[in-house]
Structure 1
Amino acid sequence: MPTYRGGRHEHGQNYLTDRPTIAAFTRLVADSTGPIIEIGPGRGALTRELHRLHRPLTAVEIDPRSVAVLGDALPGIRVVHADFLDWRLPGTPHVIAGNVPFHLTTAILRKLLHAPGWSRAVLLVQWEVARRRAAVGGASMMTAQWWPWFEFGVDRRVHRSALRPAPSVDGGILVMDRRAQPLIDDRDRAAYREFVHRVFTGPGRGIAAIAAAATSLPRREAARRVARIGIAPDRLPKDLSAEQWVALFGATHRG
């Protein structure tokens, strides 16, 4: 059986080798139910631990060398030779896990957020991405756009030395959970996401002025509605919580 000292450069592979990180990853997946789909298993260090959960496990791997290794080393799992971005996720309930190539993080997150079926995703991503998605120090536009349907959290920071070869930045374990009860009706998803985009990219100082510019409301009326839902007028879009975004959307879209 061949062995590899590090991941292949063309696939952006940085293999996870740190045992405490793998244990934490496995614990977060174990705290869920349903079949598991692993993104980019590589040499299978995490795959072996997920296999011990005794749940159906599908490993989606782009590197044919790793596919051959996994098929020989872990009989009983389903190994799919495919680019995860092109592979069709099932519509039935499942859980996502994976050490995500850092340069593909945004593309993979967008795929997952638009996909049905999965209830939890546990992903190793760049530390700054994990912080932003979990709204540590301020939410990103992507987080705000999807907050009514998903909860985002960061479990821990992962030092770059936990990966081989070591990347130039640290990673973080991002946990995304689909809300059992969305905060906004699915029929309003497109309108809400467009609203968040306009607010994040619109002019103005403070959320009241920005909300007025993003809607057809006069500035004074927008300020009155923002105050009525208990949001300080000088708050910035990145400072709002999921519940405040939902309240702002409702307040500025009522007659």
Structure 2
Amino acid sequence: MNNDANADAPTPSPTTAPPPSLPLYSPARVRELLTLHGLRPTKSLGQNFLIDGNILRAIAEAGGAAPGVPVLEIGPGLGVLTREVASRGALVTALEKDERLKPVLADTLAGTGVHVIWGDALDFDYAGLPPGTRVIANLPYYITGILLSRFMQAPQILSATVLVQKEVAQRLAAKPGQDAYGFLSALAALYGSVKHVRDVPKGAFLPAPDVTSSVVRLDFDRDRPLPDPALVSFIDAALHHRRKTLRNNLRLIGHEGTPVDAAIAGAGLRADVRAEDVALDDLQAVARSLGVVR
């Protein structure tokens, strides 16, 4: 995506905004903004707007929004979370796909200094962000996993404090042997650590989503070298059928039985260990033994 061509700072709108006495996150003001601009939340874009001030403040606080901190927000929507983050002095860049929201954000972000880039988060070059960037966002549920992977791979991003489906939050924070443990859990551990901040009820959104949400913070250890893509692919395959044995999963991707048995034994694991019970360090040891990585 050509960021320069698609970058627009909010400009004042000639429309009349709802009464400023109402906080931007209040249900009444959200409804007025939608009515004023002739909008309806688009389910295909995952548009569920936050209407709970306590949740907004908790996300901004947990995300590290502070004076001078570069922050990236994905999907600002009506600018509710955006304003909260910017009010703390953070240098906010907001990436929004839905250009119907241009007049809304021109109203709600006027005077905040927020830089809005109009484009698809899947096409954005995260490597071009300022060093030390922190992501603070209510992520569209349908592309959560892809975006988290992009954040992990961008050395400029130090952390991501995001609102996601509770199920995804559980998978991110799960440990080996727990029901939710899988590739996403191992991937998060490969890049850093995960902290559960709080759950968020359906009623904190307008319209209410079908599922409960959670706020999680992922901190990326940038002192570690970025992992070898071959290792990431290996871990993905090893945990793809997580309730099967690790041995069977590795044979499914072409590794011979004898070397696999030796690698599993060399890592101190049982021959019949299930993939879901294997810790990240042990997966790495098996990968090295099989020559996937050095």
TM-score above 0.5? yes
Question: Where in structure 2 are the equivalents of 1:180-219 lying within 5 Å?
Answer: 180-182=222-224, 185-186=225-226, 189-201=228-240, 206-207=245-246, 215-216=255-256, 218=258
Amino acid at match of 2:262: E
**Structure 1 residues 237 and 144 mapped into 2: Cα distance closer, same or farther (>3 Å)?**
same
**Structure 1 residues 106 and 198 mapped into 2: Cα distance closer, same or farther (>3 Å)?**
closer
1:241 aligns with 2:279: yes
| 1:169, distance to aligned residue in structure 2 (A) | 0.7
Question: Where in structure 2 are the equivalents of 1:44-193 lying within 5 Å?
Answer: 44-74=79-109, 75=111, 76-89=113-126, 90-93=128-131, 94-135=133-174, 137=178, 138-145=180-187, 147-182=189-224, 185-186=225-226, 189-193=228-232
- 1:20 corresponds to which residue? 54
Amino acid at match of 2:59: F
What is the rounded CA distance, in whole Å, between the counterparts of 2:195 and 2:211 in structure 1? 20
**Structure 1 residues 60 and 252 mapped into 2: Cα distance closer, same or farther (>3 Å)?**
same
**Structure 1 residues 16 and 239 mapped into 2: Cα distance closer, same or farther (>3 Å)?**
farther
**Structure 1 residues 45 and 31 mapped into 2: Cα distance closer, same or farther (>3 Å)?**
closer
Alignment size in residue pairs: 249
Indicate the SS of the match to 1:148. Answer: helix
| 1:128, distance to aligned residue in structure 2 (A) | 0.6
| 1:69, distance to aligned residue in structure 2 (A) | 2.2
**Structure 1 residues 202 and 225 mapped into 2: Cα distance closer, same or farther (>3 Å)?**
farther
What is the rounded CA distance, in whole Å, between the counterparts of 1:199 and 1:45 in structure 2? 41
- 1:38 corresponds to which residue? 73
What is the rounded CA distance, in whole Å, between the counterparts of 1:213 and 1:99 in structure 2? 37
| 1:38, distance to aligned residue in structure 2 (A) | 0.8
Indicate the SS of the match to 1:67. Answer: helix
**Structure 1 residues 204 and 226 mapped into 2: Cα distance closer, same or farther (>3 Å)?**
farther
- 1:4 corresponds to which residue? 34
Indicate the SS of the match to 2:58. Answer: helix
Amino acid at match of 1:107: I
Say if 2:70 and 2:92, in contact at 8 Å, map to a contact too.
Answer: yes
**Identity, % of aligned positions:** 25
TM-score (normalizing by structure 2):
0.72
What is the rounded CA distance, in whole Å, between the counterparts of 1:222 and 1:134 in structure 2? 27
Encode CA deviations 1:90-109: one digit per residue, 9 max, x unaligned.
24321111111212223322
TM-score (normalizing by structure 1):
0.82
| 1:223, distance to aligned residue in structure 2 (A) | 4.2
**Gaps spanning 5+ residues in structure 2: where?**
1-16, 18-31
User: Could you say which structure has the larger radius of gyration?
Assistant: 2
Q: CA RMSD in A?
A: 3.0
Once structures 1 and 2 are overlaid, which stretch shifts more, 157-166 or 22-31? 22-31
Once structures 1 and 2 are overlaid, which stretch shifts more, 152-161 or 52-61? 152-161
**Structure 1 residues 63 and 159 mapped into 2: Cα distance closer, same or farther (>3 Å)?**
same
Amino acid at match of 2:166: W
What is the rounded CA distance, in whole Å, between the counterparts of 2:286 and 2:250 in structure 1? 8
Amino acid at match of 1:171: S
**Gaps spanning 5+ residues in structure 1: where?**
none
Amino acid at match of 2:49: Y
